[in-house]
Structure 1
Amino acid sequence: MKILLIEDEPAMLDNMVKSLTGEKYVVETATTFRAAMDKIHVYDYDCILLDISLPDGNGLVLLEELKALDAAQSVIIVSARDSVDDRVAGLNLGADDYLPKPFHMAELHARVKSVLRRRKFEGSRIIEINNLRVDPEERAVHVNDQLLLLSRKEYDILLYFISNRNRLVSKTALGEHVWGDQIDEVDSFDFIYSQIKNLRKKLKEHGAQLEIQAIYGIGYKLLLA
């Protein structure tokens, strides 16, 4: 899962990045209103953690822009401004949650998991597709009740396909989501092909009733058997 953290306080930013990456999220950051605006126009995220008090703009304007873009990502406002007016304004503009500072990282993780379940997996803690079962919180995958051992990136790729099961996924979108915006610096997608090849092989060997189908020249799509 890919998170955009919009926060201008260096110590808070560093603590949140370390904590979230420790939970195996792909985390990108923006410390200014302008940098955040640029990112939401270029990249897709599963969840945005938004400080509304930014040095060069109001984070609530970013919420308005996300609404105009019809963006599907979850938004949690993380702010020292704990007024009722700010909460109401943020929620009315489409924020999924509001977490006042200071907070414990355990609460942040719980809030993120909760909004991701609601947005991506219809509120379910366990995802079941035919004979495959995924527990996102434990990062565990079972096929016919047998544990399927996946590398971190293989798991991230599978979860991305599951959360976009009705969509055609381009190689670029997949790379940006699983590897972050550093994907822009690579010369080829060979490492993505390798990860998908290994994942498809493991799914087939374990008899998973789904398939990642390559669409020549475009990308991939998850098909159910």
Structure 2
Amino acid sequence: MREKEKVTDYFLMTDYRDEMPEFMSPSRCFIIWQHKISDVSIIEAGIRKIIQAGCTHFSLFGEYFEKVIDIIKRLDLNNACLAYGSTTDLDGIARAIIHYHKKDEKPYCYLIYDDYYFAQYVKEDFIHHGRDVKEEIRIRMAANHGVVEFVYNGRDCIFSVSENDFMIGYLGYEKHFPIPEFALYEHLFDGKTFLQIWDDVKDQFV
């Protein structure tokens, strides 16, 4: 079980197995559900508390998001909740939280997750406003036909992109990932992610 993580005054992350936070109003709930539900009662109790606190907007991501939407619909006795999700648009959660943080009257954003690493990707995307950076990376990678060798901290590195494979890391220690979020947010460069070192290396991506 992991501790609740307060990213900002309006953005709180928590593992679903942890005790649910006290939900402030107005609020938006984001749920990452990547794995099979092993104990329905835990997620039911959490969602029931969320709904009882007045939260009616749910955005979900993950392999099993539809199972969670079914639970939301079953517990939504007043038919007041709007719930939607995706198995591919992890970026969408970070974009939505960034959008809400730009409002003068900010809602409280709560991210409930069953996968710590996916949650960290959302946090990193939020902190670095990663969508704009990722678009810059995409354009520069395309200009280099999907393969760039570069130097970081005096060591040779590589970033290679193909249709279903993203390879990145120090030469000789590369790692392969199935989706770009994994490649960009993995701590491969002396404890830093590629997004974190981008400003230091982007001039090599010409």
Answer 1 or 2: which has greater helix percent.
Answer: 1
Q: What TM-score, normalized to structure 1?
A: 0.30
State the structure with bigger RCO (CA 8 A, min sep 6), 1 or 2: 2
Q: What TM-score, normalized to structure 2?
A: 0.33
